[in-house]
Structures are given as structure tokens and as C-alpha cells.
Amino acid sequence: MMKKAAVIGSNGQLGTDLCEQLATDYEIVPITHADLDITDIDSVRKIFTQTKPDFVLNTAAFHIVPKCEEVPAQAFAVNGIGTLNLAKVAEELNYTLVQYSTDYVFDGEKRKPYVETDRPNPLNVYANTKLAGEYFALNYCRKNYVIRVSGIYGKVPSRLKGGNFITTITKAAKEKPEVRVVNDEMLVPTPTYWIAKNTKALLTKDAYGLYHMACKGEVSWYDFTKVIFETLNIKTPLYPQSVKDTVVNVKRPFYSVLENKKLTDLGINNMPFWKDALVSFLKEHFVK
């Protein structure tokens, strides 16, 4: 009998790819925001008592970073308490919880790639609430995988944001006489396809705990955009600018590159180099 994998946020950017990747080996239980409010533990308990999944993969998050500063209690309700509810019920019903987190839990001061054992120091409300969710997942259920990702993009738009960096920047290139992008914020943008593929590999290992899952290498948003423009033959002038020259209401890490040390130690770090992943994604989804 096939094991069951329930994907919370199944119609979202990461959830869509998870459903597709896992469908070959698992019976998928797709769960959308309309089906479940993770901030309500009774609702969580009811749906998983009925569906009896072996794995619950939670992609639901309050991730509009500036909005989190305005409504911190709401952000914590989803990112913190929502994860706590899933973890408590996981322990009760004996399912494995897969919780996705963020590179933003770091402050960027290290200035070289972060591994799983590095100490977090979140700079904003969003990152603080996601870190709380990590601790809840790690400490309230024994069978857990907490996966930190970075700068994700996929073929399906984010439900809350309505797009991703690539769709935003290509739209700006069509509508504006020039595009300016920060060149001093370093990270590792990663397609949801590869996160889903490597999550599938990780689920075959009984090696619970915290993992980084990002593409290899590092890049600024400006240099990432340059590759987008070159690959899609966009002629709109592109210029670099400093984060200091932008109107920023939220503190963010200038450096949040993740190193997949624990995946490498397990022998399943199959993440590609960021540029290869980007060019492949653009050719598949943007080149006509």
C-alpha cells in the first residue's frame, strides 16, 4: 500500500511541485487554505484524523516580509502557532512533519555560507516567526524534517505575493524605461522543482532534523537579474544599486547563502548550481 503525503498549500508555488514529485511514490492528499486553517488546532486534528497521512509537508506561511512588521501577531499565528499545532498533532497521530523555513533566520554577519549548526539571529518579524516555527517542529514532534530554503521561484505564482522575483522583474522590464536591482544582497535563489525533488530523496532517510536545501553557489539579485535579461534577450537598461539607496522599511540580512552540509553528509545533495537551474527554468517556462 502506498504511503500518504499530505501537502499543505498544495496549489501554491512549492506545494504544486511537491505534489508532482511525490505523486509517483505516495498517495497525495492535497490541502489548500480553503481546506485547513493551521492556526486552529481542532481543524488540524480533524483533517489528519480523517486522512491519516504518513507525512505532512507544510508550505503554508505568512511570508510578505513588510506586512509581517505591520501585523506581527498575525504572522506569529501562522508561522509559529500554526507549526506548533501541526507538530503537536504529528506527535499524537504519529505522522512525520516536514516544515519549510527560510535563510532569513540568519543576520548575514558571517559573510560566508551558513551551515545547519550556525546560530540564527533573525533581524525581522517574518524571520523571527519562522524561527519559532522551526523550534516548535523540532521540539514538539520526534519525526520531523525542518528544511531551510532561499529565494524560491516556481512555475506557479505565490498565492499571497501573486508572483516571484522573475515574474516581477520581467514585468518591470516591460513597463519601465530602466530597471535597478540591488547588488549587495547575496543569497542562493532556488527553483521549487529542485526543492521538491530533494525533499523526496530526504524522505527516504530516517535522518530527522534540520536541513539546508538551496542551489549551489551564491549571487546578488543584480547578477541574478543579468542572467534573466541575457537568457530572455531583454533589452531594457539594467543598473545595479545598493540596498542603502532603496527605501527599506524592514531589516534584512545582506548575506544569507545556505550550504547544504547535512544533505552532502547523507550523500543526497543533488541541488544544481544556481545559474544552471535558472537558465533551465527560464528556457522551459519563459522562452517561446
Cα angle value 91/71/62 (rounded, 5°) = 45
The pLDDT, as a whole number, for residue 9 is 94
The pLDDT, as a whole number, for residue 114 is 98
DSSP 193-204: HHHHHHHHHHTT
User: Cell 510578505 identifies what position?
Assistant: 64
Q: From first to last of its 288 residues, what are the pLDDT tens digits of the chain? A: 789 999 999 999 999 999 999 999 999 999 998 999 999 999 999 999 999 999 999 999 998 999 999 999 999 999 999 999 999 999 999 999 999 999 999 999 999 999 999 999 999 999 999 999 999 999 999 999 999 999 999 998 765 555 788 999 999 999 999 999 999 999 999 999 999 999 999 999 989 999 999 999 999 999 999 999 999 999 999 999 988 777 677 899 999 999 999 999 999 999 999 999 999 999 998 876
What are the CA-CA distances from residue 285 to residues 21, 36, 101, 128, 129 (Å)? 18, 30, 26, 34, 33
pTM of the entire structure? 0.94
The pLDDT, as a whole number, for residue 233 is 92
The CATH number of domain 3-162+188-217+257-272, selected from 2.40.50.180, 3.40.190.10, 3.40.50.720, 1.10.3470.10: 3.40.50.720
Are the C-beta atoms of residues 36 and 8 closer than 8 Å to each other?
Answer: yes
126 is annotated as an active-site residue: yes
What is the C-alpha to C-alpha distance for residues 61 and 76, in angstroms, rounded to an integer? 10
CA atoms within 13 A on the CB side of 202: 33
Chain segment 17-68, per-residue pLDDT in tens? 999 999 999 999 999 989 999 999 999 999 999 999 999 999 999 989 999 9
The pLDDT, as a whole number, for residue 245 is 75
What is the C-alpha to C-alpha distance for residues 159 and 138, in angstroms, rounded to an integer? 27
Q: How many CB atoms lie within 10 A of CB 162?
A: 9
Q: Which one of the listed residues 95, 104, 126, 222 is annotated catalytic? A: 126
The pLDDT, as a whole number, for residue 161 is 57
The pLDDT, as a whole number, for residue 87 is 98
The pLDDT, as a whole number, for residue 246 is 74
What are the CA-CA distances from residue 143 to residues 25, 98, 101, 258, 271 (Å)? 20, 9, 17, 23, 24
Bridge partners (DSSP) listed for residue 28: 5
Q: Structural domain boundaries of the chain?
A: 3-162+188-217+257-272
Chain segment 179-192, per-residue pLDDT in tens? 999 999 999 999 99
